[in-house]
Amino acid sequence: MAMKKIVVLGSTGSIGINVLKVVERFPQQFSVVALSALNNTDLLARQIRQFKPRYAAIDAKHICDLRRKISGSKVSLFDTRSEIDHLASLPQADIVVLGIEGSAALSPFLAAIRSGKHIAPANKEALVMAGSVLMAEAKKYKASIVPVDSEQSAIFQCLQGQDRQGLKRVYLTASGGPLRCVSRDQLKRVSVADVLKHPRWRMGRKITVDSATLMNKGLEVIEAMWLFDLAASHIEVLIHPESIIHSMVEFQDGAVMAQLGVTDMRIPIQYALTYPKRSVAPLPAMDFIRQKTLTFLKPDVKKFPALKLCYDVAKKGKTFGSVLNAANEEAVSAFLREKIPFLKVAEIAEKVVAKHRPSSSVTLKSILNADAWAREEARGLISR
């Protein structure tokens, strides 16, 4: 098997760390050519020393500190904010893993696509913002996309070898987040610490807040639309607290295919890296006898209105996805800084979406303009 050369963008986040755990297990299959982080110089320095990439990137103000910590290394350093597209399009790279959080992933995602890479995205925001552009470019440049998020990976796996004409419905499962059993009245008083206690997954702060509002699942609905060429009406969200079934697909003949597994991100990550082959993973097998039950619940959109908002945005199309994502990012940031209460996060996103007047054409420029407008609107609401 030929060695696959990997670029890991966002290597110090939870996804990046797990990607490198997979790489470490298969030294004969993978080598790392580039890593990037935003400001975690200590961890990035350790990763550089262990995996010996040719290139690395970090925020410009931390480059000197990183260079000091990796003294003697031959790695070439770049600025994450302005030069990350260079790493995403390196000629020698085979696979680009997008572990970058939020809208910052859009530009390197597009750069990787235009370089014809095999792309393993763990980022949904780029597709929410610019799914039409990204998927059209992927077709044009023959780039392959194998998603890393457990839900999208599950759908991808269930659809392998299937006749898409026979597809009836996709079920996206959700743990329900840390506030599933909290009353609407109690949601008015939850703290940042309360929200960040996810019951199943260890994730970054922003995505954990999105999980608590169910915005994350709504964004995944839009992401799945673009990845699998679906209408929003063909995607149903189910609350599944055990997080054993990662998603399901239903066919016209009544058959339902589900992808199950323990709650460990290394499984979908490894699949995205080794696709179309599968390799042994050092993880415990599913114990169905011990598991005993699998629970499914309908999401409460009155308590968590962000999910309904995402479905509305999915139906509107145009640049509404960019606006939704930008407003949500600003609101989540404000909540994490304790500038607004929890319930204001979805409320601000909804108000900004309601004010948006999209342009007649969807281009990269109109998408970025909508993003900038929405951030300004959201900041105004936050400050008031």
Q: Residue 1 has what pLDDT?
A: 62
**What's the pLDDT tens digit per position in 24-49?**
999 999 999 999 999 999 999 999 99
pLDDT-derived band at 199, boundaries 50, 70, 90: low
According to CATH, the topology of domain 4-145 is Rossmann fold (3.40.50)
pLDDT-derived band at 263, boundaries 50, 70, 90: confident
Tell me the mean pLDDT in the region 270-290. 90
CATH of domain 317-384: 1.10.1740.10
Which tokens belong to 138? Answer: 């992927």
This prediction's pTM: 0.95
**What's the pLDDT tens digit per position in 290-337?**
888 999 999 999 999 999 999 999 999 999 999 999 999 999 999 999
On the question of pLDDT at 200 being above 70, the answer is: no
Q: For 28-32, 112-116, 204-208, which range has the lowest pLDDT when averaged over its residues?
A: 204-208
On the question of pLDDT at 359 being above 90, the answer is: no
Per-domain boundaries in the chain: 4-145, 149-264+282-311, 317-384
Q: Residue 135 has what pLDDT?
A: 98
Tell me the mean pLDDT in the region 247-262. 96
